[in-house]
Structure 1
Amino acid sequence: MEGSILEHYKNILDLVPCGICQVALDDDLTILYANQFYYDIYGYTSQDAEEKGFTNARFILPEADFQMIHKKLLDQVARGKTKFQMEYRGVHSTGKILWLLVQCTCDPNIPGSVLCSLMDIADRKRMEDEIRMSMEESKTAFALTDKYMYIFDVENRRLFQPEATAEEFGLPVVADNAPYSIVESGTIDEESRQEYIDFYESIIQGKPKGQTVVKKRKKDGTTGWYSAKFAMIYDSEGRPRRAIISSENITEQREKELTYQKWSQHFKAQEGKTIGYYEYNLTKDAVEAGDDPPDYLRPFEKYTETVRYIAERFVFEGDRARFYNFFNRDKLLLRYYNGQSSGNMDYLRKRDDGSLYWVRATVQLIADPYNNDVRLFMMTLDIDEEKTETLRLQRRVEHDGMTGVLNRDTFMTRVTEALEESGPAARHALIMLDIDQFKEQNDSYGHQFGDQVIKETAGILKHFLRRNDICGRIGGDEFMVFLNDITSEQDVIPRIAQLCDLLKRKYPEKGEVSCSLGVVFYPRDGENFKELYRNADIALYEVKRAGRCDFRVYEGEAASNPVHSEPGI
């Protein structure tokens, strides 16, 4: 009875107008069952298939395609996928190449095989190829313009676009379910989504032409404004079939006015919260508008004159060079033409009584919407309270709480930055040091004495350093010093010897405290922090092995292995 039922269903499946098969997930994808239409697709009958060797999927697939399909099937099953589809090429008995769409279903209760239904999609592929060639023809003409061209298949809601355009926006060349799939991809900016949908809905409704302006997002995250127009192509019965869409990037002209209005309104909205708000025409080196200027600025008509006066009268001497550099007219114009339209600078400003406070100068560079002049919006805010607190918290995060020198991570970061910024002629020294027999002293005289020794060691190092040198506590009684931009290795040796002597001191009733130092030079002993650290560690080990209370310059690693681990890089 069961056999007759099975034969009954097989007879039904033979009448289904698509290929159905069950294949084993073995090396050849052996066919466990196939209906008659499956064999018809490839030009065989079920009777002669076995005779000709058509017992597995490898037989009717190009070898490269078979390997790809076999891998994908196994991968999908391994990932627990129960339904998925693939497009692939098959070989007809006549040698003709077929294009097929296969829908795969995996039943967890029947492991080791997959059920497939196949459809011949050669016509669809042919149509896509025709459209592609048509687009290639049009693309040749469009290549001479700054416009994009798309074709929209009205009936199938399918959008065809040039490969370069699709790549630019991170979209498929053929996008199904347009416009909704494109909206869902995030390509259309949220503020323009409805306009974009309305544009395509008017195409779907069969209108002869239309246009819109939308904001789109490229694959790299940048956005721009694009105008789009369409013209409809109808079939012989007057039904809308295809829309030819022409799109053009109008970001520059669109954003000029929008940006100018936005920033003008934003800066003016801050009036009453600022120390000063001003507008300048950098191209003409002219003062344009802004707050009602104080009497001392009224005589100045040029931007450069105003900057010079403010710098000399109000800016702290230590920040004056940075101020001049930031507000340099030529550099601001260069920044604008390089695509950098905004910036800010924190600096110390003088009050009338000579006291200092933190301010933030914020600038926005914008093209005048009516000509090619570059305009500068500049606003100065009092940020003293928040900046002071930020610096306090930053110091706590970056510095060792006991000694006040940099902590391990910050020291590594600062030295790495200094090395990366070094020119080809730069020379630096890195010193690793620790306190000799510190554990014995700490155990003998107590932690209070140990803390005193560590703090005094840090104090000697800080007093020894120049302004651009860097010092950090690496852990426990270990310190590192980075001597930035030395003249030569020979010239710095006496200075290191002096430091070694300074670190040697006597404590009544507790004896002498000294330090051992390992010294390396950049770039001779390493071109990055990791290499320098490792070799300084080797040099330090050699000092300790030789008796401590001295320094040693790294001379290679033939001596022995270091005792410290690498600094967690």
Structure 2
Amino acid sequence: MNRNTLLVVDDVEVNRAILRALFENNYNILEAENGEQALLLLNQYKDSIAALLLDIIMPVKNGYEVMSDMNRTRLLKNIPVIIITSEDTIESEVRAFDLGASDIVMKPFEPHVVKRRVQNAIELNLHREHLEELVELQSVKLRESRDVLMDALSSVVEHRSVESGQHILRIRMFTKILLENIMHSYPEYDLSERTINIIASASALHDIGKISIPDAILNKPGPLTAEEFSIMKTHSEKGCEILSGLDRMDDKEYLRYAYRICRYHHERWDGKGYPDGLKGDSIPICAQAVGIADAYDALTTDRVYKKAFSPAKAYTMILNGECGVFSPKLLECFKSSREEFVRLTHSYADGHSPKADLRKAPALPQFRQTEEQDTQQYGQMKYAAMLRCADSTVMEVDLSTGIYHLVYIASEDFEPLRSGGNYKEALKNFTEKSVHTGDQGIVAGSSDNYIHDFVENGLLKHTLKYRVLHRATGDYLWYEAVTLRINIQAPHSHRILIVWKRLESPPIQAAQSERSSGITEIQNLMVGILQCVNDRWFTILDANQGFFNLSGYSRTDLNDELQGHYLNIIHPDDRAEVIARFHEKLLLGIPIELEYRILARDGRIIWILDKCQLSVSGDGKEYINCVLTDMTQVKQAQEDLRLTMERHQIILDQTNDIIFEWDIGSDMISYSSNWEKKFGYKPDSEGSLSRIPNASHLFPEDVPSFLALMESIRNGVPYRELEIRIANSAGHYVWCRVRATTQFDRNRNPIKAVGVILDIDAEKRKTQELTAKAERDALTGLYNKSTGRHKIQKLLEERGGSEQASMMIIDLDNFKQINDSYGHMFGDAVLTEISSQLQRLFRTGDVIVRIGGDEFLVYMCSFADDQVLHARAQRVVDAFHNVLKDELQDYHLSCSIGISCCPDDGSDYQTLFQACDQALYHAKQQGKDQYALYDRTVMSGGFIRNSDQLPAAGTRIESDDSLNLVTYSIIQQAFQVLYEARNQEAAINSILEMVEQKCNVSRVYIIEDTNYGTFCNNTFEWCNKGIKSEIANLQNVDYSKFMDGNCRYCDLFNENGVFFCPDVATLPPKLYNMFHKQGIHSLLQCAIRNDGRFTGYVGFDDCKDKRIWTQAQIDALIFISELLSTFLLKMRAQNRAVAMAENLQMVLDNQNSWIYVIDPDTYALKYINAKTYAIAPSARLGMPCYKAFFDRNTPCRICPVRDIRININQTMEVYNPVLKVWSMADASYIRWESQDACLLSCHDITPYKE
């Protein structure tokens, strides 16, 4: 795990800046200005954060609350917290350490001390994690040694009990499998993988007490007498006595589980076990699990007193209480683990597999500990409660194995069901002993028939009614026996439920079959009417002429070609879905609507709207009555509209920019899918303005300006843009430009903001790099003189009235001697080391400047008193004594310092500089190697040097700035023009004009490709005075005319994308002729590339002389070209996206239908077209559709959106009592803004209804 990030949490920006400067060279820095945002970043980047630097006093959530939350989520275990606070009370320190802080640093702090202490905390945490790994490894080895010893002890029992075989090994594996199932199904038992492994290992000692049982009893071939059984039962307590003697073992947890298993594994749920007669969950869960495993293994293996039963017989006996009563919850888990138990029974049968250590049981699916488990648990509880309320006897049967489980017995009249080795024997015994003799033939005769129907025809339900003996009175009572398929999604599944429910009165014999004798023949209808059996094929019983007209089949064709099966008419791709929906909805007994395709006899595909309902006949069989409507034309129109919207969405997704829409009323923001592609996580789309100040991925310093932008949009400003930083999934901040345009309603009230988020990180960082080159001294990396002056002047303007500041001029004494003695290269090394010393001695917020060869200027923003100033100056003087001391053996390096204070000695840069300079001159006069504070009574009237002059004393080694001020100003102005641009094309022309004027070139232009580089167009141009324009002549130009052979024009550009020719006469003839006609002598062209493909270039021509540009000018022009290229490409992409969006909006608004898009889960509106707004003007994006159109507070009971993910398309008629319209509502499952959505197109059918 690569922990390379520090999270700095402080509500004061200056404090964050100081800490950022300390650590940014070694760590990636994330910042938060309150506790809420800190927790958001902690949870997202918990695997990469090395330490948390946390302030205590903060808004929203303070530091104590952050640590409390980290304790609760166990984040504090892996992330050390260093408290940095001004709270120096004992109580606050104690509280911080109690909550888990690794260290506390008091403000104000020494930066480099903080750096060392943070590093120590990180290293200690890494060592701790490493030690934990070593301890865990050692624990594993100790557990392995313990298991070997315990297995050896258990083997003593195996050798004494000749029938045990591999009993111990199987018990361990059975126990592990059963407990894993319990862990996933019943989280209230609080089991974990670690606990399960310990219990499984400890289960080996469950029968250790049998070592004290006499061989005559232990290996007796027949039944035990009561006295012998009493002795045998003592093995539980004897085993506990043996385990008590092992109390010196280090693993107390293992011993505790072994003791509980040994003592309680023969206890039973109803309290009839031994030795203590425990009942229910008072029996430890470990002992309950081992008890089931032990009983199962005893039944399925040969013993001296019996032969082995089959696994199916063993399951039936345990489930029906023949081995004692077990927990219903554990029996459910036991049933679901049947395949694993059976497999292990055969794989590890006695004498079949060699003895081995516990092998890892097959891994069960890894369920998350979420609400799904609670739902499963509550479902089982509801199931049990329902059985008690219904007071019905329920038997669960697996027809494939014969295993049955009496889940609930409502009356002792059904006790005969407990007898029998399988369900057939149990039903036979029950029929003979309890069913009225007059009904036994019905029960016995129909039993095999309906079971055959269930298996072969995929039926779901069958009902019989007969009389059962009431043993208390001797009377016969009427019962209804209903057979139900458990898994309706699997028609070949052999697991069923049989439910016996008492009838209050004898059944009334129907005068005739409840099934309709036929369907009224109504010829030439637009709908088809159908009745079929609810079997696996939907066998057709009757149909009207409308169905035959619709499908193209005759009655004879239906039987001959399709065997009378309606399922064969349904499109093969829709069959599984139709079956699933039938089974899911029809059992509720309410009419349902389905949409699917059928195959007509002539091969046509017809979309069908099927309205159907389930009915039950007197013989217990189920039938489905259907009304079929042809909706092919509606579906086609709906599909065409969906594809149109999807095409536009694809076009929008192809741009690299992030498009967003902000609904001002609901404060909901939706983003295009590029957000997740760009940043690696889903954006927060709810409560934008309210959540951003407290928890967001924005850089804290950018939050106020972003909120100001959104507020201005809310107030009706038509357009705003802003540059901000957003953290990506790796924890790195990415520079982005946000452009937002306001949309207004008819009353000019702002309702939405639509915009784009552009990635300008590369441009911004390159600008910062060039800016740093322009602002910094090339040798030392400090600010140069002009930049330093500008920054100090700005700080002086922002200074508070009472705030103290100071200025120092530091001059090296006799530096010329070093240059003369050691050379200028060594002198440069001295200056570099001195610069590093100054950066360590002063704070991040202070300004350090190299103003000349060996002169430096420092501006201290604020300090407490003069004592601090004196101490800092003396530290500088002392530090110079140790610079390269070993190398400067014959020379003593020293410096002189002049100091002025603000506001005492002046409040502007020039005054403070002159006061400093006089103080420096005074220090030199006093013997050098010292500092002096300006004192106007002593120093006034002396030598005065202007701040713009070169230093008066010392040898000057001038800095070599790589870019001159003209170049720097071009870059700065270009950014300013683009940043403030309202008209993008005018902005590009302005930059071209500026470059032409600043660099004195003849012509600046942009060439863009068409047709993948074959032709080009001159799209922008700016010419100097007297230079002829070529833009009209350079349209649809063919490159190949000017190139020789197979060469391409893009081949002229080097690997950096630059084509530089100081003399065009040196070019091949074709190229020379082209450029000569344009009057060009020298040129510089920079390629425009889109995803690595050459798409044009930015050109700079000199039509007066043969010109050689300096490297600084070339660098600047290349950067300007890259800036223009990026801006131009994004402008083109944005224009295409806007055009596509406008086309989509026009298409939707001009549809003669009410069209809107909603979230299929929340029903929130995501889009509304113009016609929908016209009929429902109060509707707003983000509002639930049932509220916007039906004025309801809950979703509609009948809605075409229900189950849209399953059906993809649905259509139904809907009446809106609020709007008083009838509509045919078409619902389609689509992707909208890269999220699942539902498109609804509602066609007005009110005139037809009236």
TM, length-normalised to structure 1: 0.47
- Structure possessing the higher relative contact order (Cα contacts under 8 Å, 6 or more residues apart): 1
Would you tell me which structure has more strand in proportion to its own residues? 1
